[in-house]
Structure 1
């Protein structure tokens, strides 16, 4: 019994010592989150996608992911100890690679006839998010966020088949972690964005001269944009 008691006391002592060591890590930037406003810059990458609804026998999909580049600035307002309002104006450079298939028109090998379209996009976005953070643990502080992001496409020139509207509005949710370093705060963040409305510009069909391409364009009933953004903020 005495040996068990000694073992338990020793285990508690060791665990307490380990916990104390973890809590005694040097706290970098201990007061940075107390400021009412702070600013930063961001760099990252994005993956753009679009979800189509079509009339048969035409189907359309983005057949591969093209990684794009993102850059922006950050303004963060402290609302409470765990809640912040963030505005992060950003530029997203990327592209969508679309493949349209006519399932009713097969070639000699039995494969459907297809059309390819590379849709390049440069979005100017102004996301407005609420950021809810957990309590800081040493130099780490995880968080989740949600908000809306109005966007405008700065390279919305005439496309070969499918044309998107110039503006978009996305809802976004994400998660990240504040990492407190000696000279600045680094924040990796993963965000998922989904467009709220149909972004297909149906008036574009009248401008097409190729009847085959016009057939494909007429079959597209709706398209909702999607985007995944991995961002690194520096504050």
Structure 2
């Protein structure tokens, strides 16, 4: 689902950009919109979060079922020059993932069907600090790449819950660090600037909180569990 959506958005963006690039010069909309030292806006978007696992012992991978989540947030933009901007994009990101464990993880242990699945709901306050590198504006478009670091507070982490997976509670760390990289295109419309973008997000720290039992079938074999995700945002400035 997330791959199809990303492909459709990319085709739309590049088809529109090509129409602008290969047409004759047009009247520029919002010609002075990028000249302000500070500018603001907001974004709406979609996300798909996944996990990347490293293991201590060679066993069947823990499967991750992803879902399509929702993003909303604000933008603060500091103009450095015509080609470089510094951006702060605090937002609320809501997502859900299911972890599917193979029966081999419970070898010699009694288990039920519910023990093989752990639903991981996450509500992140996500705050990235980004550098945006743009090309020269061509007619009413300006392609760019963006990258930076971010921190996120997981409001649904269960970090302080004394119960663990033996009681059905999957726990994650509250505070996480990420690096991000992506691309997009600024479209200068008559009344505002509209920007679709795609960004990959990758965790820098292990997010799993281990169960009390060091041999827990849910956490005992996991050396690292790190989030990775895809964001598709639509920005209005």
Is the structural similarity TM-score above 0.5? yes
Q: Which has the larger radius of gyration?
A: 1
Cα deviation, residue 69, structure 1: 0.3
Mapping for residues 10-159 of structure 1, pairs under 5 Å: 22-23=24-25, 25-56=26-57, 58-103=59-104, 115-157=116-158, 158=161
Q: Equivalent residue for 2:8? A: none
Aligned residues: 205
Give the equivalent residue in structure 2 for 1:184.
192
Residue ranges of structure 1 left out of the alignment (5+ in a row): 1-18, 107-112
Shift of 1:167: 0.8
Q: Distance between the aligned counterparts of 2:106 and 2:149, measured in 1?
A: 42
- Displacement after TM superposition at 1:57 (Å): 6.0
2:28 is paired with a residue whose SS is coil
Give the gaps of 5 or more residues in structure 2. Answer: 1-20, 108-113
Aligned-residue offset at 1:105: 6.3
Distance 2:45 2:170 in 1: 28
Aligned-residue RMSD, C-alpha: 2.5
User: Contact 1:99–1:114 at 8 Å: present in 2 too?
Assistant: no
Distance 1:190 1:40 in 2: 17
1:148 and 1:79 map into 2 onto residues whose CA distance is 18
Equivalent in the alignment of 2:7: none
Of 151-160 and 177-186, more deviation after overlay is shown by: 151-160
The counterpart of 1:164, out of the listed 172, 177, 180, is 172
Q: What is the CA–CA distance in structure 1 between the aligned matches of 2:97 and 2:105, rounded to whole Å?
A: 25
- Deviations 1:118-169 (CA, angstroms, capped at 9, x unpaired): 1000000110000000000010100001100111101122463542111110
- Aligned residue runs from structure 1 range 202-221, under 5 A: 202=210, 205-206=211-212, 214-221=216-223
More strand by share: 1
TM-score, structure 1 normalization: 0.80
Change (3 A) 1:192 1:20: closer
Contact 2:105 2:217 in 1 (8 A): no
1:175-230 CA distance string (max 9 Å, x none): 0000000011000010001001111112xx12x7xx99x33222222111111100
TM-score, normalising length from structure 2?
0.79
User: Which residue pairs with 1:6 in the alignment?
Assistant: none
Which residue of 2 is the match for residue 199 of structure 1? 207
Q: Distance in 1 between matches of 2:75 and 2:47?
A: 17
Matching of residue 233 in structure 1 with residue 235 in structure 2: yes
SS in 2 for 1:33: coil
Decide whether aligned partners of structure 1 residues 121 and 170 sit closer, same or farther in structure 2, where only a CA change above 3 A counts.
Answer: same
CA distance in 1, matches of 2:24, 2:172: 52
- In 1, the alpha carbon distance for the partners of 2:62 and 2:186 equals 36
Assess if the C-alpha contact under 8 Å between 1:134 and 1:143 holds in 2: yes
Of the three residues 223, 226, 232, the one matched with 1:224 is: 226
